[in-house]
Chain A
Amino acid sequence: MEIMKSSNTYMQLIGTSSPGLIMILLDQSGSMSENKKAIEAAKAVNRVIYEIVLASRSGEQIKDRCSVGVIGYGASIKPVIGGKISEIANSFLRMEQIDKKVSDGAGGLIDVRMEMPVWVEPLADNGTPMAEAMTQAHKLINPWVNDRPNSFPPIVINITDGEPNDFNKNTGEAPQTQAAAKKLMQLATNDGGLLLFNAHITGTLISLGEIQLPNNERIVQDKYARLLFNISSELPPRLLQEAQKVGMTSQVGSRGLVFNATTETLIKLLIFGSSVAR
Chain B
Amino acid sequence: MPNFEIKSSSAFYTHKANESPGDCQDAGLISPEHKRYAVADGVTGSFFPTEWATLLVGHFCNDTGSVNRSLFKSKNWRDWLAPIQKEWRAQINEKVANKTTRDAFHLRNSLVEGVPAAAAFVGLEINIQDKTQPIWQAMILGDSCLFHLHGNQLNSYLLKKPGEFNYHPKHFASLMSRTKYEPEFVSGIFEKGDFFVLATDAIAKWILTRYESGGAIWRATREELFYIRTLDEFHDFVKEARCDKETPLEDDDVALITLSVVESKIKIKEQPRKPINVSASSLPIAESVPEISDEDVRNIIHSELRKVQPSQNPAARNKQQLSLSILALVIATLSFFFSFLSMLNKVNKAPVPHLTAKLTNGVSVYSIPKEKSETVFTVKKDCHASLIGIQISNDEMWSKVQFYLWISVPENKQRNKNKENDLANILLSADVDAYDFSSRDTTVIGSFLPRNINPDQIVDKRKAHNLVWYKVRIVGFILTK
Residue in B closest to A100 when the chains form the complex, CB atoms: B113
| Residues in A whose Cβ lies below 8 Å from that of B17 | 17
Bound complex: CA A100 to CA B108 (Å): 14
A-B contacts, CB under 8 A, total: 82
- Are B106 and A89 within 8 A (Cβ)? yes
With A54-B45, A54-B106, A114-B112 already in contact, the answer to whether A13 and B177 are too (CB < 8 A) is: no
Bound complex: CA A53 to CA B114 (Å): 17
Bound complex: CA A63 to CA B112 (Å): 22
B41-65 contact mask (Cβ, 8 Å, vs A): 1 or 0: 0000100101100000000000000
CB distance from B47 to the nearest CB of A (A): 8
Q: At the interface, yes or no: B178 with Cβ under 8 Å from chain A?
A: yes
| Residues in A whose Cβ lies below 8 Å from that of B16 | 13, 15
Bound complex: CA A61 to CA B95 (Å): 11
Choose one: A17, A62, A95; the contact of B19 (CB below 8 Å): A17
CB distance from A156 to the nearest CB of B (A): 23
Choose one: A50, A59, A91, A102; the contact of B48 (CB below 8 Å): A59
A75-99 contact mask (Cβ, 8 Å, vs B): 1 or 0: 0000000000010011110010000
With A106-B177, A114-B109 already in contact, the answer to whether A90 and B18 are too (CB < 8 A) is: no
- Are B95 and A114 within 8 A (Cβ)? no
| Residues in B whose Cβ lies below 8 Å from that of A105 | 114, 175-179
With A16-B18, A59-B50, A105-B176 already in contact, the answer to whether A50 and B114 are too (CB < 8 A) is: no
- Are B18 and A15 within 8 A (Cβ)? yes
List CB contacts (< 8 Å) of B90-109 with chain A: 95-96, 99, 101-109
Of the listed residues A55, A59, A89, A106, the one surrounded by the most CB atoms of chain B closer than 10 A to its CB is A59
- Are A115 and B19 within 8 A (Cβ)? no
Query: What is the interface size of chain A, counting residues whose CB is below 8 A from a CB of the partner?
Result: 36
Bound complex: CA A199 to CA B108 (Å): 32
With A53-B106, A60-B95 already in contact, the answer to whether A112 and B48 are too (CB < 8 A) is: no
Residue in A closest to B45 when the chains form the complex, CB atoms: A55
Of the listed residues B48, B95, B101, B109, the one surrounded by the most CB atoms of chain A closer than 10 A to its CB is B109
Of the listed residues B19, B45, B99, B103, the one surrounded by the most CB atoms of chain A closer than 10 A to its CB is B103
Residue in B closest to A58 when the chains form the complex, CB atoms: B23
| Residues in A whose Cβ lies below 8 Å from that of B19 | 15-17, 63
CB distance from B165 to the nearest CB of A (A): 15
- Are B23 and A62 within 8 A (Cβ)? no
Q: At the interface, yes or no: A226 with Cβ under 8 Å from chain B?
A: no
Query: What is the interface size of chain B, counting residues whose CB is below 8 A from a CB of the partner?
Result: 34
Choose one: B96, B113, B178, B179; the contact of A60 (CB below 8 Å): B96
- Are A115 and B105 within 8 A (Cβ)? yes
CB distance from A209 to the nearest CB of B (A): 34
- Are B114 and A102 within 8 A (Cβ)? yes
Q: At the interface, yes or no: B310 with Cβ under 8 Å from chain A?
A: no
| Residues in B whose Cβ lies below 8 Å from that of A115 | 105, 108-109
| Residues in A whose Cβ lies below 8 Å from that of B176 | 105
Q: At the interface, yes or no: A2 with Cβ under 8 Å from chain B?
A: no
CB distance from A128 to the nearest CB of B (A): 33
Choose one: B102, B104, B112; the contact of A112 (CB below 8 Å): B112
B15-47 contact mask (Cβ, 8 Å, vs A): 1 or 0: 011111011010000000000000000000100
- Are A90 and B251 within 8 A (Cβ)? no
Bound complex: CA A114 to CA B251 (Å): 34
| Residues in B whose Cβ lies below 8 Å from that of A18 | 18
CB distance from B356 to the nearest CB of A (A): 64
Residue in A closest to B107 when the chains form the complex, CB atoms: A60
- Are A113 and B112 within 8 A (Cβ)? yes
Q: At the interface, yes or no: A147 with Cβ under 8 Å from chain B?
A: no
With A100-B113, A103-B177 already in contact, the answer to whether A58 and B106 are too (CB < 8 A) is: no
Main secondary structure, interface of B, reads helix
Bound complex: CA A116 to CA B109 (Å): 8
Bound complex: CA A92 to CA B104 (Å): 12
Of the listed residues A63, A90, A104, A114, the one surrounded by the most CB atoms of chain B closer than 10 A to its CB is A114
Q: At the interface, yes or no: A117 with Cβ under 8 Å from chain B?
A: yes
Bound complex: CA A134 to CA B375 (Å): 70
| Residues in B whose Cβ lies below 8 Å from that of A91 | 102
Q: At the interface, yes or no: A36 with Cβ under 8 Å from chain B?
A: no
CB distance from A50 to the nearest CB of B (A): 7
Choose one: B105, B113, B175, B178; the contact of A95 (CB below 8 Å): B105
Bound complex: CA A57 to CA B99 (Å): 14
Choose one: A16, A57, A63; the contact of B106 (CB below 8 Å): A57
Bound complex: CA A53 to CA B106 (Å): 8
Bound complex: CA A106 to CA B51 (Å): 25
Residue in B closest to A278 when the chains form the complex, CB atoms: B45
Residue in B closest to A110 when the chains form the complex, CB atoms: B114
Residue in B closest to A19 when the chains form the complex, CB atoms: B18
CB distance from B25 to the nearest CB of A (A): 8
Bound complex: CA A50 to CA B40 (Å): 28
| Residues in B whose Cβ lies below 8 Å from that of A16 | 18-20, 23
| Residues in A whose Cβ lies below 8 Å from that of B112 | 112-114
Bound complex: CA A16 to CA B24 (Å): 12
Bound complex: CA A103 to CA B19 (Å): 33
- Are A13 and B106 within 8 A (Cβ)? no
| Residues in B whose Cβ lies below 8 Å from that of A13 | 16, 18, 251
Choose one: B25, B45, B103, B251; the contact of A62 (CB below 8 Å): B103
Bound complex: CA A103 to CA B17 (Å): 37
| Residues in A whose Cβ lies below 8 Å from that of B45 | 54-55, 57, 278
Choose one: A14, A63, A95, A116; the contact of B23 (CB below 8 Å): A63
In the A-B complex, list the 5 residue pairs whose CB atoms are closest, starting with the nearest. A105-B177, A15-B18, A89-B103, A115-B105, A90-B102
Binding site for B on A (CB under 8 A): 13-18, 50, 53-55, 57-63, 86, 89-92, 95, 100, 102-106, 112-117, 278
Extra inter-chain contacts (7) besides given A16-B18, A61-B22, A91-B102, CB under 8 Å = A17-B18, A17-B19, A54-B45, A102-B114, A105-B178, A115-B105, A115-B109
16 cross-chain CB contacts under 8 A: A13-B251, A17-B17, A55-B45, A58-B23, A59-B50, A59-B95, A61-B22, A63-B19, A89-B106, A105-B114, A105-B177, A105-B178, A105-B179, A112-B112, A115-B109, A116-B109
Binding site for A on B (CB under 8 A): 16-20, 22-23, 25, 45, 48, 50-51, 95-96, 99, 101-110, 112-114, 175-179, 251
